[in-house]
Amino acid sequence: NAGVTQTPKFQVLKTGQSMTLQCAQDMNHNSMYWYRQDPGMGLRLIYYSASEGTTDKGEVPNGYNVSRLNKREFSLRLESAAPSQTSVYFCASSELGASETQYFGPGTRLLVL
């Protein structure tokens, strides 16, 4: 039982490049989330998926897209990376919704030059 897994662990991009961050959970959870963590800012929600087939914007969605591929997987795509997207990205899941305990992945550290 791996919980929430994220790939890659670390990535360096040049401005304008694109990439997809992958997230998978094996807990049969309905809800999944993408956050970014910047120094002194805490965690801010980018997008979430309350259930398979649905996605919604969070607090900071600009510059990102998401896909809920199936119940297990929720990917985050940066179409044209910018230095402002340098951050640590966390994926999380919860059984039914945001009021339930969220289980977090180990994070992806992204550096955009």
- Residues near another protein (CB under 8 A): 33, 40-45, 48, 50, 58-59, 88, 90, 92, 97-99, 101-104, 106-107
Q: Output the smallest distance, CB 81 to another protein, in A.
A: 21
- Shortest Cβ distance from residue 49 to another protein (Å)? 11
**Computed over its alpha carbons, how large is the radius of gyration of the chain?**
13
Q: How far is the CB of 80 from another protein (least distance, A)?
A: 25
Query: Would you say 13 or 92 has its CB closer to another protein?
Result: 92
User: Each residue of 5-41: b (16+ CB within 10 Å) or e?
Assistant: ebeeeebebeeeeeeebbbbbeeebbbbbbbbeeeee
Q: Which two tokens stand for residue 60?
A: 């900071």
Rounded to 5 degrees, what are φ and ψ at 63? 90, 0
- Provide the minimum distance between the beta carbon of 15 and another protein in the complex, in angstroms, as a whole number: 25
- Give 63 or 107: the residue with its C-beta nearer to another protein: 107
What gap in Å lies between CA 15 and CA 92, rounded to an integer? 27
For another protein, give the closer residue by CB, 14 or 39.
39
